[in-house]
Amino acid sequence: MKIIISLVAGLAISGLSSGTAEADAAAGKAAFEANKCTQCHYTDGPAKEKTIDDVLAKKGPELWYAGSKFNGDWLAGWLADPKNIRLLEYNSLSKPNPGNHPKLSAADAASVKDFLMSLTSDVVEAGKVKPKKNPKGKLIFTKKMPCSGCHQYADKKKGVKGGKSGPSLVDAGVRLNPDWILAYLKNPKVFKPVKDMPNFVGILSDKDMKNVSRHIASFKPKK
């Protein structure tokens, strides 16, 4: 009898937690829309882009898999105090990023974070990548893959180096979910159906992709 009561109580608590999470996500969606975030971002997946014109028409990145991509604590903090992730304006190869992303109130930032973190992709498998400095991953990242042509990263000897056309990876370890990094390398067309970066499927083994993901996930800005 005690076992049955405990089981029922556990199910009830689980149901309440689920209901609370859904309510938080709904409130966050309302805040997302009230702050006019939909003017630059879409949140209903899967990916909609079919041509390069579709890509160039976007004003900001798609967010339909935000909950699989981002670290929730980082996301809430960034929404309240946004800092440039890209050195160049979105979809530009020459214009500097003006750094004019709207700043949300602390309450709205927390609420919108709840909504965005509820948006996930089934392609991202949890627990596949543990952040760790990885010699093999570092070698592939710096020598075999043209990552630095588009992305900035921190180098102990030379400071921040790399290209400007893609998002910076300097803080990738606090911003990105390591499992999403791996999923993106393995299934790029799920997230970016129109070519946005080199496709390494068939070039790197699954093991090498995991090593690279672990290496990128170890990137953290100096305090």
- The pLDDT tens digits along the chain (223 residues) read 555 555 444 544 445 456 788 988 999 999 999 999 999 999 999 999 999 999 999 999 999 999 999 999 999 999 999 999 999 999 998 999 999 999 999 999 999 999 999 999 999 999 999 998 889 999 999 888 888 899 999 988 888 999 999 999 999 999 999 999 999 999 999 999 997 788 888 899 999 999 999 999 999 987 6
Q: Is residue 221 part of a domain?
A: no
Q: Are residues 141 and 168 in the same domain?
A: yes
- Contact assessment for residue 197 and residue 166, using Cβ atoms and an 8 Å cutoff: yes
CATH number at residue 80: 1.10.760
Number of domains in the chain: 2
Residue 45's pLDDT is: 93
Quick one: which of 147, 205, 213, 150 has its CA closest to 180? 213
Instruction: Name residue, tokens 């900001």.
Output: 60
Would residue 203 count as lying in a domain? yes
Last residue of a domain, one of 116, 151, 169: 116
> 124 in a domain, yes or no?
no
Considering the domain architecture, whether residues 95 and 161 belong to the same structural domain is answered as no
What pLDDT does 17 receive?
Answer: 53
Question: Do residues 10 and 92 share a domain?
Answer: yes
**Domain of 194, in residue numbers:** 135-216
Q: Which helix (H) or strand (E) holds 152?
A: strand 152-155
Residues 96 and 88: beta-carbon distance below 8 Å: yes
Do 105 and 143 have their domain in common? Answer: no
- Report the pLDDT value the prediction gives residue 198, as an integer from 0 to 100: 83
One domain for residues 36 and 9: yes
Query: Does any domain span residue 196?
Result: yes
Q: Kindly state whether residues 99 and 35 are assigned to the same domain.
A: yes
- Bond into 46 cis (ω within 30): yes
What amino acid is encoded at 156 in this protein?
K
Whether residue 178 sits in one domain with residue 207: yes
Residues 21 and 95 in one domain: yes
pTM of the predicted model over 0.85: yes
Q: Which of 180, 191, 196 is nearest to 47 (CA)?
A: 191
CB-side exposure of 37: number of CA atoms within 13 Å?
Answer: 24
171 shares its domain with 86: no
Tell me, what's the pLDDT at 16?
Answer: 44
Say how far residue 76 (Cα) sits from the centre of its chain.
Answer: 13
Last residue of a domain, one of 116, 150, 173: 116
186 and 139 fall within a common domain: yes
Assigned domain for 50 exists:
yes
Residue 121 lies in a domain: no
Any residues with CB less than 8 A from the CB of 91 and at least 6 apart, and which?
A: 55, 56, 58, 59
Select from 116, 143, 172 the last residue of a domain. Answer: 116
Same domain, 102 and 156: no
Residues 6 and 91 in one domain: yes
Domain CATH number, residue 172: 1.10.760.10
122 found inside a domain = no
